[in-house]
A = this chain, B = another copy of it.
Amino acid sequence: MELDPVADLPEIRPGDDIAELVADRASLESGDVLTVASTIVSKTEGRVANLEDYPVSGRAQEIADRIADVAGEEKDPRFAQAVLEESTELLIDCPFLLTETRFGHICVNAGIDRSNVPDHDILLLPKKPTESAERIRSRLVERGIEDVAVIVTDTCGRPFRHGQRGVALGWAGMPASRDWRGELDRDGHELGVTVQSVVDELSSAANLVTGEGAGGTPAVVVRDWEFGDHEGSDELFRAVEDDLVRQALRNWRFDD
């Protein structure tokens, strides 16, 4: 497996065609996987905003006040309002905001970015990252690159372990996971690993070569990797019924 960052992408603007910008700079081939950072997808989709666009609700003010009280940290209530508007559930409201975004991804601040935005205050995640991935993929197919997969990626933290790692927000041209159920090991025992989240692993791998900041490259081509002959699944985000940690968080409040 080989991962090559796509060099020399320009600053991305609303309406830019990511498929074209990438295909002009990398020799994409059938079977490749293209990972694209959500930041540039958001920029092409005009997902920027200013804090003044978010009139503060009572709930947002309450959140900002409590974080200031408990964590001693100033939180702009307009930012809290933006997070609420991008979310369907607030899992942690203090000392930081952990929410479920409208497309099912759980992350801090609904993934809203305050860096990476030249002319506005904030950059929102793509509204429907899987549709974004499908759009980029179909533009690549139109250019003659058949059988290509596209993953829209982000980085985020997680419970139990420090640090952030790359994750997938949306994908097209391949399933999210590879299913090993029923397959056997060398000794004929059924495997301990059951479902492997390949889109997340590909996003993590890509994040190792993208870099961040001024020298960052928001697109990576993965070559010589195969999904292989396995069942696939597109379920990536857990529902509450299926997630004991979410259930525990519903019954808990930060102790100040």
Contact = CB atoms under 8 A, between A and B. Distances in A.
A201 B207 contact: yes
A164 B194 contact: yes
A159 B161 contact: no
A156 to B, nearest CB: 9
Contact of A252 (B106, B209, B216, B252): B252
Interface size for chain A: under 10, 10 to 19, 20 to 34, or 35 or more residues?
35 or more
Interface in A237-256: 237-238, 242-249, 251-252, 254-255
With most chain B CB atoms within 10 A of its CB, the pick from A118, A161, A225 is A161
A61 interface: no
A21 to B, nearest CB: 16
A183 B165 contact: no
A201 B200 CA distance: 10
6 contacts: A1-B205, A158-B159, A162-B237, A185-B212, A208-B225, A209-B225
Given A164-B197, A186-B214, A196-B164, A208 B208 contact: no
Contact of A160 (B115, B204, B243): B243
A201 B192 contact: no
Nearest to A234: B162
B238 A161 contact: yes
Contact of A187 (B117, B197, B209, B251): B117
A213 B191 contact: yes
A92 interface: yes
A155 interface: yes
Contacts of A211: 228
A202 interface: yes
Interface string A1-35: 11100000001000000000000000000000000
Contacts of A114: 189, 192
